[in-house]
Amino acid sequence: MVHIPAPPPPRRPKPIFKTIRTGAFLVRLFDPTTSFGQTALTFRRFGPLRRFDHQEPHAGQPASDPDRGIYYAAQTLSGCIVEVFGDTGLIACGEWHIARVWLVRPLTLLNISGRGAMRAGSVAALSKVPDHAVAQQWSRHFYEQPEYSQCDGIYYSNAHNDGPAFALYERAEDALDCPPGSVVRLDDPALRGELLRVAKLNHLICLP
């Protein structure tokens, strides 16, 4: 297994940035019934919990951090589905909603997919390492250090099928818009065919 050292990197980074243009859209899967009160545009300010959360833990535990919010999205519905349901292999719609979120300004993202990870000072396995604490350390480093040009977030390949994924910092809040009609329930009958297609492509089971 490749070794993933903690930051800072031993050599000066030469990061690669990816620009997502104005007018492009992201796909966001969220459950509004969670304790975090998620919506299509909410940045979670409690953490760290997930892979690239950049909140500072308190006494080693997740806590509220009003200054640091994180937002996960993907390029496609498939990318969202595998990240949320890939570990269990079962797509359970429950109260999940899917949102199509538009960019009202460009996003500048640190690219850590492929060789971009080594150029940033780490390795590509950072996006797949089971110990999220390691990736969280790196995310805080990317967020805080001037070498990364105050990026809006991270562009990476997800751990389940290498699909494009986004972890946005609260700096990107003003870049996102979700017009009326851009949110539907995951169990919407109109979405069922696409959901079954995604399940088949990724060897998942879609529950009734």
Global pTM reads 0.96
Distance CA 198, CA 208 (A): 15
Question: Is residue 4 domain-resident?
Answer: no
Residue 90: pLDDT over 80 = yes
The answer to whether residue 30 sits within a structural domain is: yes
Instruction: Say if 34 falls within a structural domain.
Output: yes
How confident is the model at residue 177, as a pLDDT? 98
In a domain, 73, yes or no: yes
What length does the chain have?
208
Model confidence pLDDT, tens digit, residues 75-87: 999 999 999 999 9
Task: Summarize pLDDT for 20-40 with one digit per residue, the tens.
Answer: 999 999 999 999 998 788 999
Q: What is the CA radius of gyration of the chain?
A: 17
Please count the structural domains in the chain. 1
Tokens of 197: 């297609």
Grade residue 2 by pLDDT with cuts at 50, 70 and 90: confident
> What is the rounded CA–CA span in Å between residue 70 and residue 49?
10
Identify the pLDDT of residue 35: 77
Q: What is the overall mean pLDDT for the chain?
A: 96
Domain of 119 in residue numbering reads as 17-206
Q: Is residue 37 part of a domain?
A: yes
Q: Per the domain annotation, does 3 fall within a domain?
A: no
